[in-house]
Amino acid sequence: MFAVIGIIVLIAMVFGGFALTGGSLAVVFHALPHEMLIIGGAGIGALLIGNSSIELKDLGAGVGKVFTGPRYAKQDFLDSMFLVSRLMKLLRMEGPVAVEPHIEEPAASPLFAEYPNLNKDQVLIRLICDTLRLVVVSSGSLEPHVVEEVMDQAIKTHVYQMMKPAEGLRGMADALPALGIVAAVLGVVKTMASIDKPPEVLGAMIGSALVGTFLGVFLAYGLVGPFANRARSVTHADAAIYQVVKQIIIASLHGYPQPLVIEAARAGIEHPNQPSFAEVFDGLRGR
């Protein structure tokens, strides 16, 4: 919602301010389609050259994040803490045999079924199940720091993949001012080829050429750059839930008391989504 409002404000202030100062929007709008064809087409071509089909699909999803925002809300962080804490309690109280059916077939697990929103994130489910499977098959002989290293690497790899759309948008933002100059230079070349035209015609042609420079800078710093920043911010917010899962598993393997396990998990959650200690502790009672 805020992204849409921001785009409207941006366009209204830039073009409205130009019109209020006596500028002719007709000149800009006349040149806009042609300059946009050159700059936008060149930008899309550069994306096609530098990315695979999968990366381009992820880039589209990254743009969507700008408008949809983070995937997880406060309740999802609570649910992740409840789910993993219950699995770790089951492992501690009843042993690997009790946990194994849940982690081998999470889709058929009544425990996982209680958290349908988490089940939509297969990376999160794999992180939980693969880590606990590692603990189960090792019969508890693994040191917690070894499990933590494995989880850190898995999270790092996934976050790196999640960041690619933001990096792609940032690369495009960096290229757009230069592509705007390319469009402007082509406009100047066209103008020089018509040097025998009347001054008013040459003036309009030069004005059209400068629209290319304007458009490249406007798109880079007004739209694509902020899109990249927002996509990066949303990605960081979504990745926090993996750290929550990791903290609960590692703290539990260390044998820390439940209050410390809860605090270890809560510490990495941003304040808007951070549940209180009481919410987590009370939610785990009787589970």
Yes or no: say if 251 and 264 are a contact pair by the CB < 8 Å rule. Answer: yes
172's CB contacts (< 8 A; 6+ apart) are 43, 46, 47, 224, 228
How does pLDDT run across 56-81, given as a tens digit for each residue? 888 888 888 889 889 999 999 999 99
How does pLDDT run across 206-253, given as a tens digit for each residue? 888 889 899 999 999 999 999 999 999 999 999 999 999 999 999 999
Task: Using CB atoms within 10 Å of the CB of residue 133, give its burial: 0 to 12 exposed, 13 to 18 middle, 19+ buried.
Answer: middle
How far is 211 from 220, CA to CA, in rounded Å?
A: 14
Q: Report which of 256, 239, 176, 245 is spatially closest to residue 212, judged by C-alpha positions.
A: 176
- Residue 281: pLDDT band with limits 50, 70, 90: confident
Check pLDDT > 80 for residue 142: no
Check pLDDT > 90 for residue 270: no
How far is 200 from 77, CA to CA, in rounded Å?
A: 64
- Residue 140: pLDDT band with limits 50, 70, 90: low
Give the range among 151-155, 220-224, 264-268 with minimum mean pLDDT.
Answer: 264-268
123's CB contacts (< 8 A; 6+ apart) are 158, 242
How far is 31 from 207, CA to CA, in rounded Å?
A: 8
Check pLDDT > 80 for residue 285: no
The pTM is what? 0.84
Q: What is the mean pLDDT of residues 181-187?
A: 90
Q: What percent of the chain has pLDDT over 70?
A: 99
Check pLDDT > 80 for residue 287: no
pLDDT of residue 208: 84
272's CB contacts (< 8 A; 6+ apart) are 74
- Residue 201: pLDDT band with limits 50, 70, 90: confident
pLDDT of residue 286: 59
Distances (CA, A) of 212 to 20, 32, 94, 186, 209: 21, 8, 69, 9, 6
